[in-house]
Every structure is written in structure tokens, then in C-alpha cells.
Structure 1
């Protein structure tokens, strides 16, 4: 039975992971480091705060997480100036709304960036609940962000389906007791999505009914 559908954002709603990799490279370049995209693949799906903390330790950088986040914020408007939705997203949202399925979003990105993306794509109105990475204590792969989204939607975890593109997100969804569809986005780096209930290579004509009948949420 499906009562709610919860989206990740980066790599699912927008094909943003290559842009995040570019942004990360430019920040690290200020410290004399030229790093390939593969350096950042393991951090897909977790919060930037956690990623920067680990990179500071790994490369022994003489800086702080706050300073790296500030550099990131200054570069982000230029790097993310031309955002486009992934093919199939608009149709999927419209179909979920038509079927009366509650729609949520659980992203490790910060709330300001999430709101900017949804407003820019003119899809903000579809989402009845949004949880950002800064609003939970434990980021993906811990299940807290998805459990919080389900609570806001007033739907049991077992009645939720999650759409993810990253290993950390898939693990979080399964730990939350939810069904998970994994989108094998080639731009999200090498991700082990084997724990997902279903792996797809396109979001066009996505059949979310494969986990059972849709049951419109009441009230």
C-alpha cells in the first residue's frame, strides 16, 4: 500500500551532482589541491558539513567547516545558475498528485538551497513536507530524515516509497522501514544501490504502483 512518496533532491529532481563536484573542486583549489570528481563520490547523499569535516581531516587543511561553507556559498550562485529538472520528474509529480499520494522531500542539502531549487523549477506547491539536512541530528545513512518526513506527512514508514540516487540515501530509506526505488543516475558517481527494492535507469513513466495499490491519504 502506498500513501506517501518521498523524494531526495540532488541527483533525483535536479541533475546537480556534477555541479556539486565542480563546486567542491573549486573550493579545494583555493588550498592548492586539484582533485578529481571521484574524490567526492563517497560523500553523495550526506550533509556538506559532514563532508567538509572529513576533507579537512583527510587533507589536513588549515581551515574550518564554517569557512569552507562560506566559500561554497559565494560560488554557488555562479555554478548553479542554470538548473533543469531531470526528465520525468514533472510528470511523476503530477501523477502522484492525481492519485492523491502525499508528497515529501528529504534532502541532505540546506533548506535555503532546497527552496531555491523548487521555486526556480516551479514545483514547490507539490510538496506537503520538506526536511533538510540541517534539520536532523543524524544525516543519511541514518533514517532520521525520512522518519521525520513521514511524521510530517502523517503516514507510517511502511506506507512510504522513497526515490533515491545515492547509496547513503538507499540505506537510510531501508533503515526507516520504507520501500526504496533507486535511480541509477550516471552523473551521481559510482553508487552501490543494491539494497534498493527496485533500480531504474530513467524516471520517465516510472511505475510507483509496483509496491501495491495507491491509497490516497485522508485529512
Structure 2
């Protein structure tokens, strides 16, 4: 029986990934690094430290986390102007509230950034739990975050559905014993590991969720 729905944040609640990776591809191109779709499929959802390690190894660079953070700061105004919640999110949250389903955010993003953006979109009070990268010793794809989420929500992992836009999160949630929904995007056209693949949050009716 479904008792909780856990959301990834970037790419599920808001459109941050498409904005930041659009700008980051330009930044990396200036360092002679050309990201392909296959790279983005791997990078999406990883902690920043792991992204930097992957990029440096593949392109023989020596960039640091600070380099990426400085670039992120330089495009802050662009991101702020174009950042928006994904279509269908507010309706889904309303449906889950009516059904008394617990809701949580589980993301590799810093918790303060998650809370800031949720407050911006007036969604902060809708969630029973918010987990960021500081709340775990091992980020996704490790299942630790999902076990912690279930424990804090006082439900079993088998009573949870995780909505993700990255393969790392789907793998972690599956390891924890949760049902998973993969939200496809320009980064991922499908998720064979997920229990259900969707093209838009608007597809998620109560009937579809409760039948998983």
C-alpha cells in the first residue's frame, strides 16, 4: 500500500538541470571539453565532487569544485530568471495531500538550496521531510538516503515511490526496495530500470500511482 512519495528535486520539481547544463556545456567547451548526451546521462544526479572527477578523468583536465562553483555563481542571474517548477507538480502535490500521502524531497543538492527554492515557489510547507547531501554519508546512487527517508517518514521502503530524473537515483531507490518512476528528459529518453517511465509529471494520476 502506498504511504509516501519521495521526489528528487532538480529535474523533478524544477527545471534546474536543463539550465545549468546548458551553461556548463559552454564553460567546458572553453576548456576543450565537448559533453555528449551519453556524458550527461552519467553526470546527471551525481554529487558535484563526482561530476568533477568524471569530467577531469575523461577530458584530462584539472578543474576543481571551486571552478564549477565560481561558474555557477557567474550564471546565477540567468538561472534565477529562467528557473521554474515543472508542469504538473502543483496538481500532483494537491492530489497526494488529499489522499494523505506523505511527501519528501531526497536530493544530492545542498539542503539550504532546496529549501530556498521551495520557499520561492511556495512549496516548502507541502513536504513532510527534506533531505539534502549533508544528511547522508554516501550520496546517491548509494541507497542510504532512501533508507533514511523511509525511516524518518515512519514507513517501509516498500510503501514508497521515488520519482527521479537520473539513473543514479533510480538505482539507489531500487536497492532500498522502493518502487521507482523515471521522468524522461533531454538527458534520458527512457529508464529501463524504473517501474514506470513518464514524459511529464502530468501523466501521474492517482490511479497510476496507486497501481504500482
Secondary structure of the corresponding residue to residue 81 of structure 1: helix
Give the aligned partner of residue 144 of structure 1: 144
User: CA RMSD of the aligned region, Å?
Assistant: 2.2
CA distance in 2, matches of 1:71, 1:84: 21
CA distance in 1, matches of 2:209, 2:82: 35
Give the aligned partner of residue 22 of structure 1: 22
Q: Could you tell me the TM-score, scaled by structure 1's length?
A: 0.85
Q: Deviations over 1:88-130 (max 9, x none)?
A: 1001001111111111001122223212221111111111111
Q: Could you tell me the TM-score, scaled by structure 2's length?
A: 0.87
Give the aligned partner of residue 199 of structure 2: 201
Offset, 1:37:
5.8
Q: Is the 8 A contact 1:161 1:179 kept in 2?
A: yes
User: Size of the alignment, in residue pairs?
Assistant: 211
Secondary structure of the corresponding residue to residue 115 of structure 1: helix
Higher relative contact order (Cα pairs below 8 Å, separated by 6+ residues)? 1
Over 3 Å counting, the alpha-carbon distance change for 1:34 and 1:165 in structure 2 is closer
Give the aligned partner of residue 40 of structure 2: 40
CA distance in 2, matches of 1:77, 1:156: 41
Give the stretch that moved more between structures: 197-206 or 20-29: 20-29
CA distance in 2, matches of 1:106, 1:198: 19
Q: Which runs of 5+ in 1 are unaligned?
A: 214-219
Q: Which runs of 5+ in 2 are unaligned?
A: none
CA distance in 2, matches of 1:205, 1:112: 30
CA distance in 2, matches of 1:143, 1:50: 16
CA distance in 2, matches of 1:157, 1:212: 15
Q: Deviations over 1:54-106 (max 9, x none)?
A: 21233232342233323323433433332221111001001111111111001
